[in-house]
């Protein structure tokens, strides 16, 4: 069977004289035993085919490399405890047909597929994540950006994403398609932070997905999603033609939380479930099955960190500065000033409000103070890439800022 598979892929790419196909098999019958060794040998435009087997390794793709598994039921890539990301992807990459799974001693610690967009990333690129199974990770797929100038298309489609803390986690993403995925039994199915849906020149399409039996289905966090704190204009959030499991207004609204005073239109639902896959939809969240999520099918919230973004906070008798560097890899420094002696507490939280690390909890003298966070939680384990909040409490006052870890 494996010989036939190698023959088929060789015939498929025979006409591509400049591209090379590298094969990986854990039983030693192919060119490589380890996936990373094949990636290291490959060049831009090459494809790495992974035959059925178990591969306990973390993988770092280089630009333009495609990695394709023989079967997403039986081509396992297991996350190792030494790394925070099972697969790190780059521009122009395709990841397809893999069963990406945190190992038993590493459940909900590592990320499944991770990608970070920075100011050094080329302006135009694409990424494809298709036909994978991603299970028992902290973030099934996490994509971060601190540069809105890029023009790109990220495609996440036909994946099974289950039993993760966050199924798909996006930060500051301008152009993405999340289509025809099965997303279930996660703490949060899709977490979207700081991504504006209403901008005519930005392209965010979420359609044809089954988002069921999560604690929260879709979490929309950030002023740029619905209403900017700097421009308090009422906007219409486009989430229509979805199936909520009922056609009764009150039952639908009971599963949707919008705690700001906005006009949000969820009323154009379907009268039957969505049969997937479906064709490409317009911007917004359309024609998904979003039902039976324990807390909310959709939660629309305002990111408190965005209120003060881009400037230091001056709250009565203390100043909180932006951490530096931000984004950061291994450590970052937080500086603050208190004008009078008092009790200070500084804590780190993840986007779901879970306490990660208590950095400071003591009485301090007046003056300038600095504290360094090494990116580890109270359990002394490094946290995965993603968005985090640091909150300072001084007396009965507090303020919050955000920071990004890119690894």
Residue with token string 């991603």: 134
Is residue 144 located within the same domain as residue 237? Answer: no
Strands (E), 227-330: 236-238, 256-258, 263-265, 284-286, 289-291, 296-301, 313-315, 318-320
Residues of the domain holding 244 = 187-302
Residue 239 confidence (pLDDT): 72
Phi, then psi, of 119 in degrees rounded to 5:
-65, -15
Per the domain annotation, does 182 fall within a domain?
no
Per the domain annotation, does 179 fall within a domain?
no
- Model confidence pLDDT, tens digit, residues 144-180: 775 555 567 789 999 999 999 889 988 777 788 999 9
% of the chain residues with pLDDT over 70: 75
Check pLDDT > 70 for residue 341: yes
Q: For residue 15, what pLDDT band results from cuts at 50, 70 and 90?
A: very low
Question: What is the DSSP code (8-state) at residue 97?
Answer: S
Within the chain, how many helices (H) and strands (E) appear?
A: 3, 36
CATH number at residue 325: 2.60.40.1930
Give the domain-ending residue among 118, 144, 173: 173
333 touches 371 (CB < 8 A)? yes
Give the domain-ending residue among 302, 320, 348: 302
101 touches 78 (CB < 8 A)? yes
Residue 303 confidence (pLDDT): 42
* Nearest alpha-carbon partner for 158 in 126, 134, 137, 135: 134
* 40 vs 126, more confident: 40
Per the domain annotation, does 41 fall within a domain?
yes
Is residue 252 located within the same domain as residue 359? Answer: no
Residue 44 confidence (pLDDT): 92
Per the domain annotation, does 330 fall within a domain?
yes
Average the pLDDT over each of 42-46, 201-205, 220-224 and give the range with the smallest value: 220-224
- Model confidence pLDDT, tens digit, residues 57-92: 889 998 899 999 999 999 999 887 656 788 988 888
Is residue 199 located within the same domain as residue 72? Answer: no
Alpha-carbon distance of 338 to 332, in angstroms, equals 20
Is residue 206 located within the same domain as residue 57? Answer: no
* Nearest alpha-carbon partner for 225 in 167, 149, 299, 302: 302
Question: What is the mean predicted confidence (pLDDT) over 249-275?
Answer: 71
State pTM to two decimals.
0.72
* 121 vs 28, more confident: 28
Is residue 47 located within the same domain as residue 166? Answer: yes
Give the domain-ending residue among 302, 326, 353: 302
Per the domain annotation, does 178 fall within a domain?
no
Question: What is the mean predicted confidence (pLDDT) over 262-286?
Answer: 76
C-alpha distances in Å from residue 240, one per residue of 46, 283, 388: 40, 11, 30
Q: Which two tokens stand for residue 385?
A: 């890439």
Is residue 47 located within the same domain as residue 102? Answer: yes
Check pLDDT > 90 for residue 286: no
C-alpha distances in Å from residue 122, one per residue of 91, 115, 155, 324: 8, 14, 17, 24
Alpha-carbon distance of 320 to 336, in angstroms, equals 5
Is residue 157 located within the same domain as residue 20? Answer: yes
The highest-confidence range among 146-150, 224-228, 371-375, by mean pLDDT, is 371-375
Alpha-carbon distance of 178 to 126, in angstroms, equals 14
Check pLDDT > 50 for residue 228: no
Residue 367 confidence (pLDDT): 77
Query: Based on the structure, what is the number of domains in the chain?
Result: 3
202 touches 196 (CB < 8 A)? yes
Is residue 137 located within the same domain as residue 122? Answer: yes
101 touches 162 (CB < 8 A)? no
Per the domain annotation, does 250 fall within a domain?
yes
Residue 180 confidence (pLDDT): 96
Is residue 66 located within the same domain as residue 162? Answer: yes
* 96 vs 9, more confident: 96
Is residue 125 located within the same domain as residue 99? Answer: yes
């Amino acid at each position: 069977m494996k010989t036939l598979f190698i023959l088929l892929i060789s015939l498929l790419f025979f006409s591509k004289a400049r591209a090379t196909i590298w094969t990986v098999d854990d039983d030693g019958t192919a060119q490589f035993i380890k996936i990373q060794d094949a990636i290291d040998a490959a060049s831009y435009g090459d494809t790495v085919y992974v035959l059925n087997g178990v591969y306990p390794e973390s993988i770092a793709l280089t630009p333009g490399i495609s990695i394709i598994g023989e079967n997403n039921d039986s081509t396992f890539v297991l996350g190792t405890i030494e790394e925070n990301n099972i697969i790190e992807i780059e521009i122009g990459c395709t990841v397809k047909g893999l069963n990406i799974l945190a190992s038993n001693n590493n459940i909900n610690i590592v990320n499944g597929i991770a990608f970070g967009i920075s100011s050094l990333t080329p302006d135009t690129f694409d990424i494809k994540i298709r036909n994978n199974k991603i299970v028992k990770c902290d973030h099934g797929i996490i994509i971060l950006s601190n540069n809105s100038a890029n023009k790109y298309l990220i495609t996440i489609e036909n994946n099974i994403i289950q039993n993760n803390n966050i199924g798909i986690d996006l930060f500051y993403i301008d152009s993405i398609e999340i289509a025809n995925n099965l997303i279930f039994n996660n703490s949060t199915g899709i977490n979207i932070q700081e991504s504006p849906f209403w901008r005519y020149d930005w392209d965010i399409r979420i359609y044809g997905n089954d988002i069921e039996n999560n604690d929260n289905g879709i979490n929309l966090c950030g002023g740029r999603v619905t209403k900017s704190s700097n421009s308090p204009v009422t906007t219409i959030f486009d989430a229509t033609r979805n199936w909520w499991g009922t056609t009764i207004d009150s039952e639908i609204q009971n599963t949707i939380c919008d705690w700001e005073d906005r006009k949000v239109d969820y009323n154009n639902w379907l009268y039957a479930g969505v049969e997937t896959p479906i064709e490409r939809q317009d911007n917004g969240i359309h024609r998904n099955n979003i039902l039976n999520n324990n807390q909310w099918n959709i939660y629309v919230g305002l990111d408190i960190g965005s209120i003060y973004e881009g400037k230091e906070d001056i709250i009565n008798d203390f100043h909180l500065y932006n951490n530096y560097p931000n984004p950061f890899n291994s450590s970052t420094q937080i500086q603050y000033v208190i004008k009078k002696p008092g009790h200070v507490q500084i804590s780190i939280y993840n986007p779901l409000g879970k306490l990660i690390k208590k950095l400071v909890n003591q009485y301090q003298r007046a003056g300038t103070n600095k504290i360094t966070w090494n990116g580890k939680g109270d359990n002394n384990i490094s946290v995965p890439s993603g968005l985090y909040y640091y909150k300072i409490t001084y007396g009965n006052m507090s303020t919050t800022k955000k920071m990004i870890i890119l690894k």
